[in-house]
Amino acid sequence: MNDLRPAARLPLLLLGMISLLGGVVAGLARLAWEVPPVAATAAGWHGALMISAFFGTVISLERAVAIGRLWAYAAPAAAGLSGVCLLAGAPPGAVQGLAIVAASVMVAASLQVLHRLTAPFTIVLALGAGCWLVGNLAWLGSATLTPAVPWWLAFLVLTIAGERLELTRFLPTPPAVQRLFIAIVGTIVSGAALSLWFADGGLRLFAGGLLALAAWLLRYDIARRNAGQQGLTRFIAICLLSGYLWLALAGALGLAGALLPGAAWRDAALHAIGLGFVFAMVFGHAPIIFPAVARVKIPYHPVFYVPLMVLHASLALRVVSGLTGDFAGQRAGGAANALALLLFIATMLTSVVRGKRQTRSSGKAANDETP
């Protein structure tokens, strides 16, 4: 058997969810909320838990499902275990080693995708996986998260951008526009690389790439057309377009120096990317990706908009409070961010249950009609 059965993928997804929960609570600890000791101890590893462990698990799991090879599942397994080990207080070297193994396997999986289909979007997806690996190596080499952060953000941003670029194949996009996209990707990667030696110039270049990417997506992504549709198609489009606005804000703040370590606006800029852009993409794509991974139905319901609205409202409070130096508002916004993620998980689980009921009802109706 080359692929892993859907039921066997769920433990890998669970490992990622443990990292997500630990990362969220560790983030609350950073905002001076009282949390369990295990999360308080991991407060300094909030970024590693959220990006490398959680997103590394779910993105590499999706990539493994896409290529259908058993060996590719070593990536989400190692990434998920890295988060669990981090929360358990394992030596950083062991955690970093697992993260490097996970990223290396995902790079191999991405290269196999590239071998099957060489196209601009598969190149960008492979670059994104490579950025995760470089970020993990930078973390190992420096023993701090600071040099890894731009690379980890590039991993998330380029993965999303590559997937969106794939859909532009269905639009009449001029070649010059596609070349502009590749130039923007090059700017983002160059900024991350330059930041290893020249933090100020590199991070501002990186931010300029983010701002340019947001503008490109707002102009050329198919989401602009889909926003006029109905149901799930419209919901996904609104998630995407709202995320692009947050990415634009993060890029603008980064150009002002907000991505520099110790900058007063750093929290606002980082969470505009991580929550406003990345999680808006997660909210929009989960009803499609999760069924593909776990083989369950997630029927659309207008209630999907509730966690999305809470996410944006709470993030707006957090960002505005961060920009004005209001720590109390920033703290409240962070707690509401966590609530938005919990609402999203609850909404998805409720929809899964509803989908199973619909499947059983359809099966029963078909049996009743059988002579």
Per-residue pLDDT of the chain (371 residues; tens, 9 = 90+): 578 888 889 999 999 999 999 999 999 999 999 998 888 899 999 999 999 999 999 999 999 998 999 999 999 999 999 999 999 999 999 999 999 999 999 999 999 999 999 999 999 999 999 999 999 999 999 988 999 999 999 999 999 999 998 877 767 778 899 899 999 999 999 999 999 999 999 999 999 999 999 999 999 998 988 888 999 999 999 999 999 999 999 999 999 999 999 999 999 999 999 999 999 999 998 888 888 787 788 889 999 999 999 999 999 999 999 999 999 999 999 999 999 999 999 999 999 888 777 767 665 655 555 44
Residue 160 falls inside a structural domain: no
The pTM (predicted TM-score) of the whole model is 0.93
Token pair recorded at residue 79: 């990434």
Q: At 343, which amino acid appears? A: L
Q: How many CA atoms lie within 13 A of 85 on its CB side?
A: 18
* Nearest in space to 105 (alpha carbons), one of 89, 82, 85, 138: 82
Residue 276 falls inside a structural domain: no
Residue 47 falls inside a structural domain: yes
Residue 75 falls inside a structural domain: yes
Residue 290 falls inside a structural domain: no
Residue 26 falls inside a structural domain: yes
Measure the CA dihedral 29/33/36/39, to 10°: -10
The enclosing H or E element of 283 equals helix 280-294
| Cα 310 from Cα 326, distance rounded (Å) | 20
For 68, counting Cβ atoms within 10 Å of its Cβ (0-12 exposed, 13-18 middle, 19+ buried), the class is: exposed
Q: How many domains, the chain?
A: 1
The phi, psi pair for 197, rounded to 5°, reads -115, -35
The phi, psi pair for 168, rounded to 5°, reads -70, -10
* Nearest in space to 269 (alpha carbons), one of 282, 281, 251: 251
* Nearest in space to 53 (alpha carbons), one of 116, 135, 159, 169: 135
Contact by Cβ (8 Å): 285, 223? no
Residue 55 falls inside a structural domain: yes
